[in-house]
Amino acid sequence: MVAAMSKKKILITGFSGFVSRHLLAYMQENDHDVEVCGIDINPPAFDFSAFPDIKVTYHTVNLLDTDAVKRLLEQFGPDYIIHLASFSSVAYSWKHPIECFQNNTNIFLNIIAVVQELHLKCRVLSVGSSEEYGNVTEADLPLREDSGLMPCSPYAVARVAQEMLSRVYADSYGVDIIMTRSFNHIGPWQNTRFVIPGFISRILAIKNAGERRGTIETGDLSIIRDFVDVRDVVRAYYNLLMHGRTGELYNICSGTGIRLSDIVDQIAGMLDVEIDTIVNPAYVRLNDNRIIVGSYEKISADIGWKPMIPLETTLGDMIALY
């Protein structure tokens, strides 16, 4: 008799966020041979019954508590760790710079230090951000993994620190780490405190009130971002875990930039309303990156990934949900 093969054990930090929810949906559709342990400081709002073919458990854990992290990793014994946990708002990092930097850096350090201490044979996906590139010019585009880093917010500096820690532990201890610089990802279930779902929720409110024209307050709409659907992002994460090269860094992006004002116009057009905008200085970030557009050439060459979901589809799915 051939013994049954054990399931892949995947630990997901930041489990209660919308990225994790989409990651579970991806595994439900593509790989049932997994056992998932989710950890967060707040319980998830979504129902595990949506993922009937994968084993999912959840634990409330503060990743700043090294002893709690050690106990959980010893108990679960992950084959893979996907580190999604962070204070992910750039605006929040300006208001709470010390808290944001210490949290985002130390929670990651606690995880990889415990992995090293316990000699766990697991692969870690360190999720970084396109914010690490900082302010660039059009001549610098598209941004590639070997482009220079000029982080210009406390959040971005913490992400660079996380990436440097990844390299230290990979090079010095041989920890199996893969790194990403993930560009702005959007999609269903994203919190409306983020820019695109925020636009959608406010324009929808005007539409639902029966108005054909309305006004919303915004930040600087002239900035250009590279938006990628979260469902494409989680496909990249999962396939990097399975097929990415140890110690390598990968952009995850759409390769296309769009001005925020054009997104407002696109949402308004899809909802058949006219929208006027007023810049509220409170919504304008300090020293904001003017333009961010990436290249996904490296991840495409290494694992065959490329974005597949067009922006119009993403916005339509978000509108239908909100």
Joined together, the tokens standing for residue 127 give 């999720």
* Model pLDDT for residues 92-133, shown as the tens digit of each residue: 899 999 999 999 999 999 999 999 999 999 999 999 999 999
What CATH topology corresponds to 8-187+228-255+293-308?
Rossmann fold (3.40.50)
3-state secondary structure of 125: strand
Spans of all domains in the chain: 8-187+228-255+293-308
Query: Residue 4: what pLDDT?
Result: 52
* Model pLDDT for residues 283-315, shown as the tens digit of each residue: 888 888 899 999 999 999 999 999 999 999 999
Query: Residue 310: what pLDDT?
Result: 98
DSSP string, 157-184: HHHHHHHHHHHHHHHHH--EEEEEEE--
| Distance, CA of 239 to chain centre | 15
Helix (H) or strand (E) holding 131: none
Average pLDDT value for residue range 158-177:
97
* 274 vs 203: CA distance, rounded Å: 9
